[in-house]
Amino acid sequence: MRATVIHGERDVRVEEVPDPVLLAGGSGRDAVVRVVAACVCGSDLWPYRGVQKTREPKRIGHEFIGVVEQVGDAVRDVAVGDAVIAPFYVCDGTCTNCVNGVSTSCLHGGWWGSQDREGGFADAGQGERVRVPLADGTLVVVPGVDLESTEGRALVPHLLTLSDVMGTGHHAAVSGGVGPGSTVAVVGDGAVGLCAVAAARRLGATRIVAMSRHPERQALARTLGATDVVPERGDEGVARLKEMFDGVGPDVVLECVGTKESMDQALRSARPGGQVGFVGVPAGGPELPVQTMFSTNVGVRGGVAPVRGYIEELLPEVLDGRLQPGVVFDLELPLDEVAEAYKAMDERRATKVLLRP
Amino acid sequence: MRATVIHGERDVRVEEVPDPVLLAGGSGRDAVVRVVAACVCGSDLWPYRGVQKTREPKRIGHEFIGVVEQVGDAVRDVAVGDAVIAPFYVCDGTCTNCVNGVSTSCLHGGWWGSQDREGGFADAGQGERVRVPLADGTLVVVPGVDLESTEGRALVPHLLTLSDVMGTGHHAAVSGGVGPGSTVAVVGDGAVGLCAVAAARRLGATRIVAMSRHPERQALARTLGATDVVPERGDEGVARLKEMFDGVGPDVVLECVGTKESMDQALRSARPGGQVGFVGVPAGGPELPVQTMFSTNVGVRGGVAPVRGYIEELLPEVLDGRLQPGVVFDLELPLDEVAEAYKAMDERRATKVLLRP
């Protein structure tokens, strides 16, 4: 089959790789999924840009939806022909951490594009097929949807966001403690930041400020629920937010970037006693200033989002159209043009690219 | 009157100072309180030990209870003769931050032993009398109690903890999100850590581990609600807690010390998706490791405790005897022996010292 392989800085290629098969002699808990749609994540740009070194050619991609083609003997909840969403990681759904709602810390889980714990290979997402370990724990079935029907095709972008960005934006909002009546600012206008806006609206925030300088993303943020837009950053951004919220700042700030500047912006913008919900993968720091947090009582909570559990929570609203996060995709390409997909995101010509194998 | 003045490292003295008076021409919102009991705080040991430099002689002490002797014209909720508890800071109770429950960030507040915003002096607590700015916002009346009756005298230690340590321990538990069924570990067996144990029990935690090596404090922790005691620290402490709680650690860890080691202990001990509630005044760091927090989803929340609001919440339970945090006092001295009070705490001969002017 064809799948994406990263060879080094700015070098991703679609190549012929072995077809995935169920693991013979394994636990029988794996499945093979034919990918209907995949996408490129902001974090895929790290190895693409050489920030993370690629020491040897490596399969890449961790967001996909598709149709089940084969299941192992022990798989119970997923059947051949089911439309499924995969979270950006593998989990069993039954260990202590999964039961505690932190399936990203699954004691038996793993990551796409690497060996699983039974000695098999969990293919990465940007390819034609994927061997899925722990299929019952990992996959969520989309009931009654044919992803290749006209109706199903229209749902694909929205469903695909549940694989990562929508669940991650939701995690920022949940970690920030957003609830009815909350005032919220969102730092970051990428796909995750935009989804965080949608999540905050869904959780009942009454004012949601998107911090963005890009006219298209400002418009998208308003579509998804932002009540205000603030283009200022740094000291000016902090001052603007304080001014807007009683001189003290919003209750919650959602940090959806991961840089030193964005975390600093978030910590300084939240009101005393407020909370920062963070999901931006920390790009090498900074460490958090504990003395500032102590004196302001601003809490910090978040991390790698346990989206597997959120898929089940958000799916009904995607299916009935109340939640349409797929608007974050502004480019669709065939898998063969994956190099252009990375290039477009790297050059900021696209917010998020959907790939069809 | 007599009051405590710190002159430098290991040099505290009771001296004759001016009697406090209501501020003529001020807003009329101040009061004068005769101190019935005060105490020495762990944080008072910082200037005492020279960790914080004392550049000129300075009044000291921020925990006291007493009886109102004079009130300004604009004072409404506090009357001459009332028994009152003062939190460890001054606040108006009406600004945005106070209304948000973060009275430690009061926009018009201040600290004991320093000038207030009307140009008056808020005396420190380790003295005979205190001028209290913003009396209605700052003081909490203890209804129907004569602090000098036999019954009242028995309540004094418990009431005095509401001035700081009990409210601070409670803030750790609230910030950590302790609720019914929570599993909790408390790092620190000083007065605040012991009060955090009591707070966790009160909030419904089902298992509470006191991390302590001192037999007397272990016993006190059990009296206050600890179900388990762990003497190990560092890697061994983390391993012990993981072993006790499903191999992953407790839901919540309360950090009640403020050192690099104690915060590290707390962050590493909480289970994935857990929370650290912290109230230990950070002793110069460390900054928090954001990458670890990201990968484990362990949140950190806390800071300088807004105890003013907690006094009202906890007072009824102190008055009816359900909550008896005054057991943390293990030495009582007259004000004139304040130097010995500091010395006993510095040398760890006492956990917390109660002073009677």
Kindly provide the ipTM of the predicted complex, given to two decimals.
0.96
CB A270 within 8 A of CB B102: no
Q: B284 falls in which pLDDT band (50, 70, 90)?
A: low
Sign for the pseudo-dihedral over CA of A314, A319, A323, A324: positive
Closest residue to B294, CB basis, from A271, A282, A306: A282
Backbone angles phi, psi at A301, to 5 degrees: -150, 145
Please indicate whether, in this complex, the C-beta atoms of A303 and B296 are within 8 angstroms of each other. yes
Give dist(CA B58, CA A18) in Å, integer: 77
Closest residue to B303, CB basis, from A96, A107, A295: A295
Please indicate whether, in this complex, the C-beta atoms of B248 and A96 are within 8 angstroms of each other. yes
Which architecture does CATH list for A2-164+306-356? Answer: Alpha-Beta Complex (3.90)
Give dist(CA B208, CA B193) in Å, integer: 12
Instruction: Give A-chain residues touching B301 at CB under 8 angstroms.
Output: 275, 297, 299-301
Q: B285 falls in which pLDDT band (50, 70, 90)?
A: low
**CA distances (Å), B320 to each of A347, B159, B211, B225, B316, in order?**
67, 12, 29, 18, 6
Beta bridge partners of A11: A8
Please indicate whether, in this complex, the C-beta atoms of A273 and B302 are within 8 angstroms of each other. no
User: Would you state the structure tokens that stand for residue A213, as one six-digit string?
Assistant: 């300088």
Beta strands B83-86 and B140-141 are antiparallel
Give dist(CA B96, CA B112) in Å, integer: 22
**b vs e for B50-69, b when ≥16 Cβ sit within 10 Å of the residue's Cβ?**
eeeebeeeebbbbbbbbbbe
Tell me the shortest Cα–Cα distance from B152 to chain A, in angstroms: 34
Cα of first residue to Cα of last residue in chain A, in angstroms, is 10
- In chain B, CATH 3.40.50.720 covers 165-302
Tell me the shortest Cα–Cα distance from A162 to chain B, in angstroms: 19
Closest residue to B101, CB basis, from A96, A273, A286: A273
Closest residue to B299, CB basis, from A100, A281, A299: A299
pLDDT at B206 over 70: yes
Interface residues of A toward B, Cβ cutoff 8 Å, are 96-97, 100-102, 104-105, 107, 175, 246-248, 263, 271-273, 275, 278, 281-282, 285-291, 293-304, 306
DSSP A24-39: TTS-S--EEEEEEEEE
User: Would you state the structure tokens that stand for residue A147, as one six-digit string?
Assistant: 């992803």
**What's the confidence (pLDDT) of residue A166?**
98
Please indicate whether, in this complex, the C-beta atoms of A297 and B104 are within 8 angstroms of each other. yes
- In chain A, CATH 3.40.50.720 covers 167-302
**What's the confidence (pLDDT) of residue A64?**
98
- The arithmetic mean of pLDDT across residues B67-78, rounded, is 98
Instruction: Give A-chain residues touching B96 at CB under 8 angstroms.
Output: 246-248, 271
Instruction: Give B-chain residues touching A247 at CB under 8 angstroms.
Output: 96, 107
Question: Can you give B111-165 as a three-state secondary structure string?
Answer: CCCEECCCCCEECCCCECEEEECCHHHHCEECCCCCCCCHHHHHHHHHHHHCCCH
pLDDT tens-digit readout, A142-181: 999 999 999 999 999 999 999 999 999 999 999 999 999 9
**What's the confidence (pLDDT) of residue A295?**
96
pLDDT tens-digit readout, A213-242: 999 999 999 999 999 999 999 999 999 999
Instruction: Give A-chain residues touching B297 at CB under 8 angstroms.
Output: 102, 104-105, 175, 301-304, 306
> Where does chain A have alpha helices with state H?
45-49, 96-99, 135-138, 150-161, 165-175, 191-202, 215-224, 234-244, 260-269, 290-296, 307-319, 338-346
**Position B46, amino acid:** W
Q: B283 falls in which pLDDT band (50, 70, 90)?
A: confident
Residues in CB range of A320: below 8 A, 6 or more apart: none
Mutant choice from B88, B182, B290 vs A, greatest count of A C-beta within 10 A? B290
Give dist(CA A138, CA A350) in Å, integer: 29
User: Would you state the structure tokens that stand for residue A134, as one six-digit string?
Assistant: 């722990």
Domain A167-302 has CATH 1.20.1730.10: no
Q: In chain A, which residue's Cα lies nearest the Cα of B176?
A: A299
User: Would you state the structure tokens that stand for residue B41, as one six-digit string?
Assistant: 């705080």
- The helices-and-strands tally (H runs, E runs) of chain B is 12, 18
Give dist(CA B194, CA B188) in Å, integer: 8
Please indicate whether, in this complex, the C-beta atoms of B294 and A288 are within 8 angstroms of each other. no
Closest residue to A248, CB basis, from B96, B281, B289: B96
Instruction: Give A-chain residues touching B287 at CB under 8 angstroms.
Output: 286-290
CB B332 within 8 A of CB B312: no
pLDDT at B353 over 90: yes
One digit per residue, the tens of pLDDT, for chain A of length 357 reads 999 999 999 999 999 999 999 999 889 999 999 999 999 999 899 999 998 899 999 999 999 999 999 999 999 999 999 999 999 999 999 999 999 999 999 999 999 999 998 889 999 999 999 999 999 999 999 999 999 999 999 999 999 999 999 999 999 999 999 999 999 999 999 999 999 999 999 999 999 999 999 999 999 999 999 999 999 999 999 999 999 999 999 999 999 998 889 999 999 999 999 999 999 888 766 689 999 999 999 999 999 999 999 999 999 999 999 999 999 999 999 999 999 999 999 999 999 999 999
**CA distances (Å), B104 to each of B100, B170, B323, in order?**
11, 15, 24
Closest residue to A294, CB basis, from B272, B298, B303: B303
Rg, C-alpha atoms of chain A: 20
Q: How many Cα atoms sit within 13 Å of B341 on the Cβ side?
A: 28
Closest residue to A301, CB basis, from B101, B281, B301: B301
Tell which residue, B314, A216, A345, has the closest CA to residue A229. Answer: A216
Instruction: Count the neighbouring beta carbons within 10 Å of the beta carbon of residue B187.
Output: 30
- The helices-and-strands tally (H runs, E runs) of chain A is 12, 18
Please indicate whether, in this complex, the C-beta atoms of B301 and A302 are within 8 angstroms of each other. no
Closest residue to B300, CB basis, from A246, A285, A300: A300
**What's the confidence (pLDDT) of residue A92?**
98
Please indicate whether, in this complex, the C-beta atoms of A297 and B105 are within 8 angstroms of each other. yes
Closest residue to B286, CB basis, from A290, A295, A302: A290
- The arithmetic mean of pLDDT across residues B216-239, rounded, is 97
| Percent helix / strand / coil, chain A, rounded to 5 | 35, 25, 45
Please indicate whether, in this complex, the C-beta atoms of B294 and A287 are within 8 angstroms of each other. no
Give dist(CA A94, CA B97) in Å, integer: 43
Q: In chain A, which residue's Cα lies nearest the Cα of B172?
A: A297
pLDDT tens-digit readout, B21-62: 999 888 999 999 999 999 999 989 999 999 889 999 999 999
Beta strands B2-8 and B11-16 are antiparallel
Tell me the shortest Cα–Cα distance from B283 to chain A, in angstroms: 9
Tell me the shortest Cα–Cα distance from A44 to chain B, in angstroms: 17
**What's the confidence (pLDDT) of residue B91?**
98
Mutant choice from A253, A301, A307 vs B, greatest count of B C-beta within 10 A? A301
Q: B281 falls in which pLDDT band (50, 70, 90)?
A: confident
pLDDT tens-digit readout, B126-181: 999 999 999 999 999 999 999 999 999 999 999 999 999 999 999 999 999 999 99
Please indicate whether, in this complex, the C-beta atoms of A306 and B297 are within 8 angstroms of each other. yes
Tell me the shortest Cα–Cα distance from A39 to chain B, in angstroms: 23
Helix (H) or strand (E) holding B4: strand B2-8
Please indicate whether, in this complex, the C-beta atoms of B275 and A301 are within 8 angstroms of each other. yes
Closest residue to A100, CB basis, from B104, B271, B293: B271
**b vs e for A254-281, b when ≥16 Cβ sit within 10 Å of the residue's Cβ?**
bbbbbbeebbbbbbbbbbbbbbbbbbbb
Give dist(CA B113, CA B3) in Å, integer: 11
Q: Is the peptide bond before B47 cis (omega within 30 degrees of 0)?
A: no
Instruction: Give B-chain residues touching A288 at CB under 8 angstroms.
Output: 287-288, 290, 293, 300
Task: Give Cα B349 distance to the centre of its chain.
Answer: 20
Beta bridge partners of B354: B39, B332
Q: Strands (DSSP E) along A47-155, which ranges? A: 58-59, 64-71, 83-86, 114-115, 121-122, 129-132, 140-141
CB A115 within 8 A of CB A167: no
Tell me the shortest Cα–Cα distance from A356 to chain B, in angstroms: 30
Beta bridge partners of B168: none
**Position A91, amino acid:** C
Instruction: Give B-chain residues touching A291 at CB under 8 angstroms.
Output: 282, 285
Sign for the pseudo-dihedral over CA of A289, B90, B262, A95: negative
Instruction: Give A-chain residues touching B295 at CB under 8 angstroms.
Output: 303-304
**What's the confidence (pLDDT) of residue A283?**
75
Please report the number of interchain residue pairs, chain A to chain B, with beta-carbon separation below 8 angstroms: 135
**What's the confidence (pLDDT) of residue A281?**
82
Q: Domain B165-302 falls in which CATH fold? A: Rossmann fold (3.40.50)
- In chain B, CATH 3.90.180.10 covers 2-164+306-356
- In the three-class reduction of DSSP (H, G, I as helix; E, B as strand; rest coil), residue A299 is classed as strand
Helix (H) or strand (E) holding B38: strand B31-39
